[in-house]
Homo-oligomer: A and B are copies of this chain.
């Protein structure tokens, strides 16, 4: 890219906003110094923060607004009444073409509702989904949906499969990524109607997807497939269960390594190794959930994120933009629609 990439940021979303937002921008700029930021939020709070972070200051432009979407605001209310909220204005900047993508650590439901309203879905996508990278024994995979769609029918799941596959190919750089549907067993008869029908569609249709079949909860971390497809209820719980387990595991490890003088000495000697380990399972490194299927790049940072995590969410936005993710989805869908063998509705019957 020859022109400078511009991102819009909801500076007021998140528990530690706006300070973690400004510091996060500063961290992200270390890696990608050419990025420009439009900061939507309270100028009185943002100005002194930018004074503390000259690198962020140089790359940012404040767009003042007093209004914010709160965490407990219902999505519909935020959509109707939050016309001047930092979140809404930040999304508008992408809709208007001023910014190539938007990052917010605010209210997830409101962010999805407003982003859908302003940016619209990509052609062929009924319902956008939330996806994220997942560390696995084999490297990295992507899982979607993580909470945008509480109930999903088979067609929704098939669309998630297509989006996830395009993502794995274009962003993760995998040649022929495998796709699995999360279920309670590998056999065809297991599960609810949605997963069974989606599996049938993916098996029978002419979609150019390497469909593995059903995967189970432990396959997520095992990296059995590159793309894990699930409904938003299950995906959200699987994601948060993983986070909780990592925390518990870390707590047990810490307790064990401080239980005796010998253990403490061992831990001291192994400190650099343990640090590497800790970094590897640090959830902040996986911060930045992607709203896939929207006609614009929108990234949701964890609400409790710190600056390090927010910087990672910015990285994710840049990665999607620089890999032309949305163009790829559009092209794939255009190709699919012109393929006489591809009709999900016909297969689903």
Which A residues contact B (CB, under 8 angstroms)? 72, 74, 135-137, 147, 150-151, 182, 184, 187, 189-192, 216-222, 230, 232-234, 236-249, 251-253, 255-257, 259-260, 262-263, 265-274, 276-277, 280-281
Q: In the complex, are the beta carbons of B253 and A240 less than 8 A apart?
A: no
Would you give the shortest CB distance from A116 to chain B, in whole angstroms? Answer: 18
A333 CA / B216 CA spacing, docked (Å): 35
What are the residues of chain B within 8 A of A239 when measuring CB–CB? 217
If A150-B191, A234-B233, A266-B270 touch, does A276 touch B247 (CB 8 Å cutoff)? no
Complex partner residue of A137 from B74, B233, B251, B269, CB under 8 angstroms: B251
Q: In the complex, are the beta carbons of A248 and B135 less than 8 A apart?
A: yes
A184 CA / B235 CA spacing, docked (Å): 9
What are the residues of chain B within 8 A of A218 when measuring CB–CB? 240-241, 243-244, 247
What are the residues of chain B within 8 A of A259 when measuring CB–CB? 273, 276
Q: In the complex, are the beta carbons of B244 and A273 less than 8 A apart?
A: no
A259 CA / B256 CA spacing, docked (Å): 20
Q: In the complex, are the beta carbons of A249 and B246 less than 8 A apart?
A: yes
What are the residues of chain B within 8 A of A192 when measuring CB–CB? 150-151, 233
A34 CA / B190 CA spacing, docked (Å): 40
If A252-B281, A270-B257, A270-B270 touch, does A184 touch B150 (CB 8 Å cutoff)? yes
Would you give the shortest CB distance from A297 to chain B, in whole angstroms? Answer: 24
Would you give the shortest CB distance from A251 to chain B, in whole angstroms? Answer: 6
Q: In the complex, are the beta carbons of A219 and B244 less than 8 A apart?
A: yes
Q: In the complex, are the beta carbons of A221 and B247 less than 8 A apart?
A: yes
Q: Which of A187, A241, A266 has the most CB atoms of chain B within a 10 A radius of its CB?
A: A241
Closest to A271 in B: B266
If A150-B191, A244-B221 touch, does A263 touch B257 (CB 8 Å cutoff)? no
Would you give the shortest CB distance from A11 to chain B, in whole angstroms? Answer: 24
Would you give the shortest CB distance from A255 to chain B, in whole angstroms? Answer: 8
Would you give the shortest CB distance from A252 to chain B, in whole angstroms? Answer: 5
Would you give the shortest CB distance from A46 to chain B, in whole angstroms? Answer: 29
Closest to A186 in B: B72
Would you give the shortest CB distance from A319 to chain B, in whole angstroms? Answer: 23
The 6 listed contacts between A and B (C-beta, < 8 Å) are: A137-B247, A217-B241, A219-B244, A252-B277, A263-B272, A265-B266
Q: Which of A72, A216, A232, A256 has the most CB atoms of chain B within a 10 A radius of its CB?
A: A256
If A241-B217, A252-B281 touch, does A269 touch B276 (CB 8 Å cutoff)? no
What are the residues of chain B within 8 A of A248 when measuring CB–CB? 135-137, 221-222
Q: In the complex, are the beta carbons of B244 and A184 less than 8 A apart?
A: no
What are the residues of chain B within 8 A of A252 when measuring CB–CB? 277, 280-281
